[in-house]
Chains A and B, each alone.
Chain A
C-alpha cells in the first residue's frame, strides 16, 4: 500500500437527514435469486454479530457464523445492564433524532462522524420496533406502553430497558432470530471456534482461519465477504468489566492483514465498579451508574485515615465531587468521576483494604426518603453488591472504583462499515464508529443492533453486487495455506517455550502498565515509559511464558496465551496512538492539555481527526493516517461541569 492512502469515509452527499435514504437508493441491489449464491462469514454472535447473521440470512444469503462460547447466546453483550437509547420521544420531553444525534456527537467530544451518528439516531427507532416484535419484554408502565428512563446524565428519558438485564434480553432476541435461521438452514453455526486469521485473496477478504477450541484443529472457511463483530478490547487492561474471552485477536489479526486500526487509545473507564479485592481478581463488576443519583461520593480528608467510615465525622470527610463541581456534583460524566476517584486514591485518601476505592454513601438518601424508597430503586443492585462483597450497603457505605468498560477505538470503517480491506466489514464495538472519544450510556447496544439489523444488510449488498469474485478454494489456495501454517506455527511456538511464568502473570503486568500510564490520565513521560515497559514485557513473554497442555486438545491456557500475545502487541499501538494525540478529548486526558477547570482541552485545529494506524510489519512502527472530521451541522463547544 502506498504511503499516501486517502481514507475515504464515503459519506453520502446531501443534507444530513437525507444521506442514509439517498445512499440506500444508490446502493446496488443483489438480485434475490442470486443472494443464496453468496457466502458471508460473520464472526461474533453478540448484538452486532447475531443481528447481522440473522438478518443477512433472512434476506437469503448463506451465512456462516462463528463464536468462541459454546452457544451464541453467551456473547459478552449479554452482560449489558442499563438500557438502549432510541429517539422515540415517547416521554414527550423534547427528544428527537436530532437531539440524540447531537448528544452523541457532543458526548463523544466531537471526534465522531456526523453522517454515521445521524444515521444511528435515525435507526434507533426501528430497533425498538423490531425488538418488541421479537418478544423482548421491555419495562412497561401501567397503561401497557413502554417505559423510559433517563440514563447517564441525559436530559431526556430515551432509554428503554428490561430491569437490569437489557443486554441479555436484546441478545436473546437476536439469538432467537439467529436460531430460527439456523433451523431454516440459512445459517451454519460454528460455536467454540476462535478466529486466528483473516485470509485476503487478491486484495479482498475471502475467508478466515479458525481454531476449533474442542479439538484444537485448524479450520478454514471461505466466503465472498467477511463480517467481524468480535467486540471490544477492554481486556487489554487485564481487569475490566468485559467477559473473560473478550479479546482483540480477531481485529488485530485483521489489522495485520491490512485493516487500519482507528483511535485505539480511546477506552472508556466507568466510575462505579466494585473495587479490586486482590491479586487473583479475574474481572470487575459494574454497578449501574444510576447509583450516583442518590449516593454521595466521599473520602476521608486525611490521607491514610483507616478508621471505619462510621467513625469519621462529617467534618473530616471530603465530598470532593460536590466541592469541585458544585452544579453537577456527583452526577458529573463518567470520565470526570473516574479521573477524580483515581486522583483521590493517588493522594493516599483511598479507602478499603487496598486503598483503591472511594465511598458511595447512601446514608443521607436513606434518612431523607427512607430505606424502602431506596430499596425500591436500587434493591437488586444492593443485593448484588452484598453478594460480591459480603457487606450491607444499607448500613455501611458502598466502596467503588473505576474500571475499564468499553473500547471506542476499533477497526476503521467507512460509512458502509467496510474496513480498508475490501470485503471486510466490521460491526459493533469492534469498529471505531460512532462514539468518538467517549460513549454515552445505553448507546453501545443501539449501535450494535443498528449495524447488524439495519446497516449491513444494505451495504453488504452494494459491495457484493458491484464486485467480481474469482473462485477461491481453501484447500488449494496459497493464501489460505499460508495463513493456516502461520497460525499453527504461532501456537506451536507458544507451547514450546515452556518458561517459568504463567500467561496470567504477563496479562496482569500488562494491565497494570496500561492502567497506570495509558488509563484515565496520561502524560508524555508516562506513555514513553509504558512503551518501553510493554516492549520489554513482550520480549519476556516470548522467552519465559509457560503454556501447559497440547495443541490438539481443549486447552484454555493456550487460548489465553494467544490472546495475551496479541494484547502485548496491541497495547503498544494504544500507547502510540495516545502519544500521537497531543490534545485531551473525552476519555483521552493528557495532563498537559487541560483547562483551568481541569477539563479536557481539545485542539480542534490540529486533532479534529480520526487517527488510523496501518500495520507496517513487526519491525517497523505502524504508519499513521488521518481522516479529518468535518462538522457542518453542529458547533464545536467546550464541556463544562462546574
Chain B
C-alpha cells in the first residue's frame, strides 16, 4: 500500500430539499490519499465544509463494501464511476490523477425523485418487488431443504441473477432510465428455481406492470445497464424476463 496524495477539483450537484432545481458547486479536495475510497474523499470534503461553517454534501451510503446498494452517484458521466463492476464506495482514489476535475451528479430518473444533493428516492424499486418479487411461502410449512434437488448450474445461474444489490445504477446509466435490468434480475432469480415456478407467470406480469407504473423508461437494448452494473448482471436476464412476460401474456 504505497499511498500518495493528490489534489482534485470537485463539481458537486447541490440541491436543497425544497429547491426546485440545483446547481453544480465547486470544491477543492486537498491532500487526498490515493488509498481512500471515493466516499472517504467526500467525507474529507464534508469535514472541511463543516469546519468552514457550510453544509456538508448529503449522500447515501451504509456498508461501504459494495453490497448494500445504498451508495451511488454519477461520476464524470459514469454511474458509480469509470471502473467496471465497482460501486462508488469501492471506487478508490488511485484511479484518479492529481489535478483531475470530477463532476458528481445524483442518479437521474423521473422514478427516482431527488431528495437532497446526491440523495434520491429509490422506493420505486421496493414497489416493484412488492408487486411480485417473492415466493409465497409462509414460515413453517417448508419441506426438507434437500427435498427438491436443483442442479448446480441452475442454482448458480439463479445466484448470479440474485446478486443484484438494488443500487439503481442500471436506471441511472440507461439512456431511457429503464429499470429492466433490475426487474429481470429478480424475475430470473425466482423463475430459474423450481420453488419459484408456480408463480412465475403472475410475477413477471405484475412486476413489469409495477415498473411501468413507477415511471421508468422503456428498454431499447442499449446495454448501458449491463456495462455499469456493479454486480455484472447480464442482459441475458432481460431476455429471460421478456420470455417470461410473453409466456404469461399468451397463456
Contact = CB atoms under 8 A, between A and B. Distances in A.
A6 interface: no
A135 B189 contact: yes
A134 B195 CA distance: 7
Interface stretch (B73-81, B133-141, B169-177, B217-225): B133-141
Contacts of B150: 140, 144
Contacts of A145: 146, 149
A177 interface: yes
A581 B146 CA distance: 45
A71 B122 contact: yes
Contact of B62 (A126, A169, A243, A502): A243
Nearest to B47: A502
B195 A135 contact: yes
B139 A243 contact: no
A277 B64 contact: no
Contacts of A144: 149-152, 155
Contacts of B21: none
Interface stretch (B96-104, B113-121, B233-241, B242-250): B113-121
Nearest to B16: A553
B133 A176 contact: yes
Interface stretch (A29-37, A178-186, A459-467): A178-186
A86 to B, nearest CB: 8
Contacts of B56: 548-549, 556-557
B146 A70 contact: no
B139 A140 contact: no
A245 interface: yes
A69 B62 contact: yes
A70 B1 contact: no
B14 interface: no
A388 interface: yes
Interface in A11-34: none
B58 A554 contact: yes
B40 A281 contact: yes
B190 interface: yes
A504 B47 contact: yes
Contacts of B17: 214, 553-554
A165 to B, nearest CB: 7
Interface string B156-199: 10110011011000000000000000000000011001011000
Of the candidates A55, A141, A175, A556, the one having the most CB atoms from chain B within 10 angstroms of its own CB is A556
B94 to A, nearest CB: 5
Nearest to B64: A283
Contacts of A546: 50-51
Given A182-B130, A280-B43, A168 B152 contact: no
B6 interface: no
Contacts of A243: 62-64, 68
A54 B140 CA distance: 12
Interface residues of A, number: 82
Contact of A244 (B1, B62, B159, B193): B62
Q: How large is the interface on B (under 10, 10 to 19, 20 to 34, 35 or more residues)?
A: 35 or more
Contacts of B138: 55, 58
B149 A133 contact: no
B90 A79 contact: no
Interface in A317-364: 352-353
B227 interface: no
A308 to B, nearest CB: 11
B70 A165 contact: no
A133 B135 contact: yes
B71 to A, nearest CB: 10
B20 interface: no
Contacts of A261: none
B162 A137 contact: yes
Contacts of B37: 282
A52 to B, nearest CB: 10
Contact of A78 (B33, B63, B156): B63
Contacts of A76: 62-63, 68
A447 B61 CA distance: 26
B195 A137 contact: no
Interface string A142-172: 1111100000000000000011010011001
Contacts of A70: 60, 70, 121-123
Contacts of B36: 277-278, 280-281
Contact of A180 (B53, B134, B165): B134
A130 B137 contact: yes
Contacts of B53: 548
B65 interface: yes
B35 interface: yes
Contact of B145 (A146, A169, A177, A191): A146
Contact of B143 (A55, A133, A189): A133
Contacts of A457: 139
A214 B155 contact: no
B32 to A, nearest CB: 9
A609 interface: no
B44 interface: yes
A163 B139 CA distance: 24
A132 interface: yes
A70 B144 CA distance: 35
A179 B92 contact: no
Contacts of A71: 122-123, 125-126, 166
B173 to A, nearest CB: 19
Given A278-B3, A548-B56, A554-B115, A390 B35 contact: yes
Nearest to B5: A278
B139 A453 contact: yes
18 contacts: A70-B122, A73-B126, A78-B63, A90-B146, A126-B140, A130-B142, A133-B195, A144-B155, A180-B136, A244-B64, A278-B33, A282-B39, A283-B65, A388-B90, A389-B1, A548-B53, A554-B119, A556-B58
Given A146-B145, A389-B35, 19 more contacts: A70-B60, A78-B165, A90-B146, A135-B135, A141-B152, A142-B152, A168-B67, A169-B159, A169-B162, A175-B129, A176-B134, A182-B130, A244-B61, A280-B40, A281-B40, A282-B37, A546-B51, A548-B50, A554-B119
Interface of A: 51, 54-55, 58, 69-74, 76, 78-79, 88, 90, 126, 128-135, 137-146, 162-163, 165, 168-169, 172, 175-177, 179-180, 182-183, 189, 191, 214, 243-245, 275, 277-278, 280-283, 285, 352-353, 387-391, 399, 453-454, 457, 500, 502, 504, 546, 548-549, 553-554, 556-557
